[in-house]
């Protein structure tokens, strides 16, 4: 099964274009634009974005204690940076402070250029890893966006702006859902189910992630039905992938957890974290850039007999209340200052929906037969090396190596709940 990830966060994300080649049907199309030069903000961003990721994770985990948690920190950070681009006064300050940026230390212009460089780098075509972002803005038809805003988001962020009649809720919902379904080639259907009357602005961001494991699993080794413990009283049956391979891993005594790194074939890695039974909350509370850096130093390569569930995970949030609790209040209020988007009064953010979907299987993204030749004598090696079985709630991170960004962060409570 391929690894696909589509994310939708209904506030617009950053996307700067670069000289690159994109596939369009049977032809190749060249897009041109300018990649900003690296600046001081760019080098701070991995740490600031990671702190924001863990802060948001804590909120979402507290709000959904018995559910899967899954989202894209780097995309949400980029989305909020984009939102700040069209905002002013305290609206802008609150957005950036929630993200972890201090305008005294990082000027707005420098921050925007840093995010443009980050997203350009992430979107640059790679042979065996695809990470692409696209955006759309749906604004009430009574509002007239500034021509400069339309030009900027089109040329710098590849964002389309649509005038929408939100008085017809059913038609507006269908318009947005149809756009998302078309842009994702049918991967996401019916994104919005309960759009309310009197929406003012909805912005859409989608991310497509595809990658192949550096060491694909053998389909023939997958156990079709294996126990996964959801809690003390609930067990579900899941396909369990099995592999004997060398991985970077360690068993942490301080936090009572096992950490294992699974590399993709190019520029990305997945970090699986398995707390000892009863220690999940302890590990969650300790998650930080400092902890991540410590784990990175502790990882050592060695043979492991690995069992990982083959599963799909998805999560949908309206982040509005969460972001407001974190301090981003004005963007959702009547006093919102989006003077960089329109001269009309009354523009505010109505929704901040976010959806992430991930499928993890044997090959990563490529559905192909993996040759059986060269497989080591499992009985001999397994008797000498540790067995790591992800058969209860675990944490999952997907990181991009070049930018040191946390692409996705989550907790798998029940791999049967999509």
Q: Please indicate, yes or no, whether residues 136 and 242 belong to a single structural domain of this protein.
A: no
The token pair at 54 is 């863990």
The token pair at 260 is 């294992």
For tokens 């780097």, name the residue.
Answer: 74
The tens-digit pLDDT sequence of the chain (418 residues) is 444 455 555 443 333 333 333 333 333 333 444 566 677 788 888 999 999 999 999 999 999 888 999 998 988 888 888 888 889 999 999 999 999 998 888 888 888 888 888 878 887 777 777 777 777 789 999 999 999 988 887 777 777 889 999 999 999 999 998 988 888 777 778 888 889 988 999 978 777 788 899 999 999 999 999 999 999 899 999 999 999 999 999 998 888 999 999 999 888 999 999 999 999 999 999 999 999 999 999 999 999 999 999 998 888 888 889 999 999 999 999 999 999 999 999 999 998 888 787 889 998 643 333 333 334 444 444 457 899 999 999 999 999 988 889 999 999 999 998 6
Q: Please indicate, yes or no, whether residues 272 and 300 belong to a single structural domain of this protein.
A: yes
Q: Please indicate, yes or no, whether residues 195 and 329 belong to a single structural domain of this protein.
A: yes
Angle at 295 between CA 303 and CA 383, to 5 degrees: 20
pLDDT digits (tens, 9 = 90+) for 164-212: 999 999 999 999 989 888 887 777 788 888 899 889 999 787 777 888 9
For tokens 């600046």, name the residue.
Answer: 39
Is 129 part of any domain? Answer: yes
Is 417 part of any domain? Answer: no
Is 385 part of any domain? Answer: yes
Q: Please indicate, yes or no, whether residues 64 and 28 belong to a single structural domain of this protein.
A: yes
Q: Please indicate, yes or no, whether residues 38 and 121 belong to a single structural domain of this protein.
A: yes
Q: Please indicate, yes or no, whether residues 184 and 271 belong to a single structural domain of this protein.
A: no
Q: Please indicate, yes or no, whether residues 298 and 276 belong to a single structural domain of this protein.
A: yes
Number of separate domains in the chain: 2
Q: Is the pTM of this model over 0.85?
A: yes
Instruction: Report which of 260, 344, 272 is spatially closest to residue 302, judged by C-alpha positions.
Output: 260
Q: Please indicate, yes or no, whether residues 185 and 281 belong to a single structural domain of this protein.
A: no
Could you list the residue range(s) of the whole structural domain that residue 234 is in? 219-310+363-412
Q: What is the pLDDT of residue 131?
A: 76
First-to-last C-alpha distance (Å) of the chain: 15
Q: Please indicate, yes or no, whether residues 248 and 324 belong to a single structural domain of this protein.
A: no
The Cα 46–Cα 26 span in angstroms is 37
Q: What is the pLDDT of residue 383?
A: 57
Q: Please indicate, yes or no, whether residues 36 and 63 belong to a single structural domain of this protein.
A: yes
Q: What is the pLDDT of residue 385?
A: 81
SS3 assignment for the chain: CECEEEEEECCCCCCCCCCEEEEECCEEEEECCCCCCCCHHHHHHHHHHHHHHHHHHHHHHHHCCCCCEEECHHHHHHHHHHHHHCCCHHHHHHHHHHHCCCCCCCCHHHHHHHHHHHHHHHHCCCCCEEEEEEEEEEEECCCCECHHHHHHHHHCCCEEEEEECCCCHHHHHHHHHHHHHHHCCCCCCCCCCCCCCCCCEEEEEEEEEEECECCCCCHHHCEEEEEEEEECCEEEEEEEEEEEEEEEEEEECCCCEEEEEEEECCCEEEEEEEECCCCHHHHHHHCCHHHHHHHHHHCEEEEEEEEEECEEEEEEEECHHHHHHCCCCHHHCCCCCCCCCECCCCCCCCCCEEEEEEEECCCECCCCCCCCCCCCCHHHHHCCCCEEECCECEEEEEEECCCCEEEEEEEECCCCCC
Give yes or no for a contact between 240 and 262, defined as CB atoms under 8 angstroms apart. no
**CATH number, domain containing residue 204:** 3.30.497.10
């Amino acid at each position: 099964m391929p690894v696909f990830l589509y994310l939708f966060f209904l506030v617009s994300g950053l996307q700067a274009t670069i000289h690159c080649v994109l596939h369009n049907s049977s032809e190749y199309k060249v897009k041109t634009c300018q990649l900003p030069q690296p600046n001081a903000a760019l080098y701070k961003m991995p740490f600031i974005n990671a702190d924001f990721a863990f802060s948001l994770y804590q909120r979402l985990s507290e709000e959904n204690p018995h559910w899967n948690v899954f989202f894209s920190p780097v995309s949400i950070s980029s989305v909020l940076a984009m939102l700040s681009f069209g905002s002013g006064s305290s609206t802008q300050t609150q957005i950036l402070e929630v993200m972890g940026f201090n305008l005294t230390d990082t000027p707005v212009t420098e921050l925007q250029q840093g995010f443009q460089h980050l997203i350009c780098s992430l979107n640059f075509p790679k042979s065996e890893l695809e990470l692409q972002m696209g955006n759309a803005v749906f604004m009430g038809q009574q509002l007239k966006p500034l021509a400069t805003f339309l030009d900027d988001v089109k040329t710098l962020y590849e964002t389309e702006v649509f005038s929408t009649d939100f008085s017809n809720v059913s038609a507006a919902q269908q318009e947005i859902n149809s756009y998302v379904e078309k842009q994702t080639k049918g991967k996401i259907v019916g994104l919005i189910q309960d759009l309310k009357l009197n929406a003012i602005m909805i912005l859409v961001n989608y991310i497509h992630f595809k990658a192949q494991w550096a060491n694909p699993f053998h389909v023939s080794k997958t156990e079709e039905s294996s126990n996964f413990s959801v809690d003390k009283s609930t067990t579900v049956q899941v396909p369990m992938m099995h592999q004997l391979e060398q991985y970077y891993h360690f068993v942490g005594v301080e936090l009572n957890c096992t950490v294992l790194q699974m590399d993709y074939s190019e520029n990305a890695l997945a970090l699986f974290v398995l707390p000892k039974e009863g220690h999940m909350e302890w590990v969650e509370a300790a998650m930080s850039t400092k902890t991540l850096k410590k784990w990175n130093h502790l990882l050592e390569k060695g043979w492991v007999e690995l069992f990982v569930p083959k599963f799909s995970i998805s999560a949908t949030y309206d982040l509005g209340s969460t972001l407001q609790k974190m301090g981003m209040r004005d963007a959702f209020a009547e006093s919102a200052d989006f003077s960089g988007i329109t001269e009309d009064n009354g523009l505010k953010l109505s929704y901040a929906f976010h959806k992430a979907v991930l499928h993890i299987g044997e090959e990563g993204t490529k559905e192909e037969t993996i040759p059986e030749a060269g497989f080591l004598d499992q009985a001999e090696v397994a008797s000498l090396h540790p067995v790591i079985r992800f058969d209860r709630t675990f944490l999952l991170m997907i990181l991009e190596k070049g930018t040191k960004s946390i692409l996705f962060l989550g907790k798998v409570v029940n791999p049967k709940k999509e």
